[in-house]
Amino acid sequence: MNSLSKAPAVDALQLRGMDVQRFIHKIGECSTEVMEEIAAAIAAVVEYY
């Protein structure tokens, strides 16, 4: 689905804020279903603290 050389991974416990200007170019993409899973994991971490 994307042209990444390694399998992507998300660690919701390693959250940090970033300035949007640091994103220079897009290197891949993921499906809506995967983004929903990531959002749910982040929401669970944020509500945990």
27-39 pLDDT, tens digit per residue, is: 888 889 999 999 9
> How far, in Å, CA of 1 to CA of 29, rounded?
7
Q: How confident is the model at residue 5 (pLDDT cuts 50, 70, 90)?
A: confident
**pLDDT at residue 40, as a whole number:** 92
For 26, which DSSP code? Answer: -
Over residues 2-18, mean pLDDT: 83
In which element (H, E) is residue 40 found? helix 32-48
